[in-house]
Amino acid sequence: MNISVVIPLFNEEESLPELCAWIQKVMDENGFSYEIILVDDGSSDGSWPVIEQLSIAYSCIKGIKFQRNYGKSAALNEGFKAAKGEVVITMDADLQDSPDEIPELRKMIAEDGYDMVSGWKKKRYDSTLTKNIPSKFFNAVTRRMSKIPLHDFNCGLKAYKNKVIKSIEVYGEMHRYIPVLAKWAGFKKIGEKIVEHRPRKYGVTKFGWERFINGFLDLASIMFVGRFGKRPMHFFGSWGTACFFIGLLLSIYLIISKFVDPEYALTNRPAFFLALTLLLLGSQLFLVGFMGELIARNSPERNSYLVEKKLGI
């Protein structure tokens, strides 16, 4: 099978028939073999009955329904598990992403050798203040921290080699950082394609301004977990040791100066409080690193790495 299209959706009943018809039109024009996986993230409207009808009418349309609303990341993750196509394309269900981009995205993965290609909504049709400006800032920070040169990390329209999506787990709200997850998993060829963006035709947006706060917290944790998740002691231990060591030097200095001038009260000196704080902070950090090491050691994924090739085994 050439292409799997994975579509997470939450209360998008009006858009689905139009979206599926459009995707089918593009696929048939290009002669691709394909499947459309609609993941209903616990919709409370008529989305699931619509999916049932669509899947009866077309065998290439498949559905997954969640018991309740778990979020876009969970929906993508479940869709990824089911996807069988060589190229996997994700898009939003609200008709803001255009299926006309599919042939070019597929070509970049299947022929130009990209591991993943992210859409870039260069001209955006969302309200400027609440989305576009924070999103520019958000993308700039993510770009700097992850060193992946993308303009639009959170674009719903993306394409992947099948093995990329089978190698990553999208949890929490990490759908914003799939390029970062892919990079940590060792996939280096990450490309970008300017895609057409359209105004939302039906329904309402499912994400408010909280997305930016949560987004930055997620970025902090993803960068930390990616670098130190399997060796927390290297992070906490080094800072802890540095703090403790400086505190120790200060204490030695204070003790010596007490011998030199026994009249001078230690508790009147700022260095005393600094030394105390550093010693305590240092040992705390060290302990946190130690606890982290114990947790990492007990994690079933402590040895999760990807073997790319084997010879004679």
Least Å distance, CB 239 to ligand UDP, is: 37
Complex with ligand UDP: residue 10 or 34, whichever CB lies closer:
10
Nearest CA to 194 out of 139, 157, 165, 164 is that of 157
In 229-269, alpha helices (H): 232-260
Nearest CA to 308 out of 115, 105, 106, 149 is that of 115
Contacted by 8, from Mg ion, ligand UDP, none: CB < 5 to 8 Å by type: ligand UDP
Strands 87-90, 61-65: pairing is unpaired
Task: Report if residue 96 touches Mg ion, rule: CB under 5 A.
Answer: yes
CA angle 206–147–132, rounded 5-degree value: 35
Which one-letter amino acid corresponds to residue 157? L
**Count of residues in the chain:** 313
The answer to whether 93 touches 8, Cβ cutoff 8 Å, is: yes
Options 3-11, 142-150, 235-243, 281-289: segment touching ligand UDP (CB under 6 A)? 3-11
Task: Report if residue 90 touches Mg ion, rule: CB under 5 A.
Answer: no
Task: Report if residue 99 touches ligand UDP, rule: CB under 6 A.
Answer: no
**CA dist., res. 227 & res. 83, Å (int):** 29
Task: Report if residue 152 touches ligand UDP, rule: CB under 6 A.
Answer: no
Complex with ligand UDP: residue 149 or 199, whichever CB lies closer:
199
Count CA within 13 A, CB hemisphere, residue 177. Answer: 32
Least Å distance, CB 218 to ligand UDP, is: 15
Nearest CA to 102 out of 81, 110, 166 is that of 110
Which of the residues 54 through 73 are near ligand UDP (CB under 6 A)?
A: 69, 71-72
Contacted by 72, from ligand UDP, Mg ion, none: CB < 5 to 8 Å by type: ligand UDP
Residue 28 CB: number of other CB atoms within 10 A? 10
Kindly state the tokens that stand for 57: 């009418």
Task: Report if residue 243 touches ligand UDP, rule: CB under 6 A.
Answer: no
Contacted by 240, from ligand UDP, Mg ion, none: CB < 5 to 8 Å by type: none
- Per-residue binder mask for ligand UDP (CB under 6 A), 196-215, x = binder: ---------xxx--------
Task: Report if residue 15 touches Mg ion, rule: CB under 5 A.
Answer: no
Task: Report if residue 37 touches ligand UDP, rule: CB under 6 A.
Answer: no
Complex with Mg ion: residue 169 or 196, whichever CB lies closer:
196
The answer to whether 32 touches 89, Cβ cutoff 8 Å, is: no
Which of the residues 253 through 312 are near ligand UDP (CB under 6 A)?
A: none
Least Å distance, CB 51 to ligand UDP, is: 13
Contacted by 93, from Mg ion, ligand UDP, none: CB < 5 to 8 Å by type: ligand UDP
Kindly state the tokens that stand for 72: 């876009």
Task: Report if residue 94 touches Mg ion, rule: CB under 5 A.
Answer: yes
**CA dist., res. 130 & res. 254, Å (int):** 54
Task: Report if residue 9 touches ligand UDP, rule: CB under 6 A.
Answer: yes
**CA dist., res. 119 & res. 158, Å (int):** 6
Site residues, Mg ion (CB under 5 A): 92, 94, 96
Site residues, ligand UDP (CB under 6 A): 8-10, 12, 41, 69, 71-72, 75, 92-94, 96, 156, 205-207
